[in-house]
Amino acid sequence: MDQPKLSVILLSGELEKLQAGCLVGSVASMSGMEVNIFVTMEALRAFRKDVINARDFKTAGEVGREMLNKKVDLFYQLLENGKEMGNLRVFGCAMAMDLMGWQKEDLIDLFDDVIGVTAFLGKAAGSQVIVM
């Protein structure tokens, strides 16, 4: 039997949605699932080195503010753990990167590749898909 697969599409820049999507992906990876994360639209900004260094995240409300105040492991750290302990890959959206004039080097060193939607859909084939 094939390994169960999960694909998570991160498109919101809100910290709470990033945290939820990355937590689900990380736990799924550590539980034996193959996980592909596609980071697109506003979510890409949160993975920029300068944004992470400045902790300049958009929060939707009280829960997000408390995550920052209490210095819990944030979304990108959850993905790092998932990569270390499971089968998790992270892909940036080529179209959004081109639109913003960003390079892979602008992002933290977590991304396996920058690809288009068609390529991601190939990787996501046969998986459960979650959009955050």
Range 76-99 average pLDDT:
98
Q: pLDDT at position 58, please? A: 96
Range 20-31 average pLDDT:
98
CA 117 to chain centre: 15
Length of the chain: 132
Q: pLDDT at position 71, please? A: 86
Average pLDDT for the chain: 96
Range 16-45 average pLDDT:
98
Q: Residue 131 pLDDT more than 90?
A: yes
Q: pLDDT at position 1, please? A: 58
Pull the structure tokens for residue 39: 């980071």
pTM for this predicted structure: 0.96
Contact (CB, 8 A) for 38 and 9: yes
Q: Residue 7 pLDDT more than 70?
A: yes
Taking the CA atoms of residue 35, residue 41, residue 42 and residue 47 in that order, the dihedral angle to the nearest 10 degrees is 50
Q: pLDDT at position 99, please? A: 97
Range 3-20 average pLDDT:
97
**31-83: pLDDT as tens digits:** 999 999 999 999 999 999 999 999 999 999 999 999 999 989 999 999 999 99
**Which residue ranges form the domains of the chain, and what is each CATH number?**
5-131 (3.40.1260.10)
- Alpha carbon distance 36, 103 (integer Å): 20
Q: Residue 2 pLDDT more than 90?
A: no
Q: Are strands 113-115 and 128-131 parallel, antiparallel or unpaired?
A: unpaired
Contact (CB, 8 A) for 83 and 29: yes
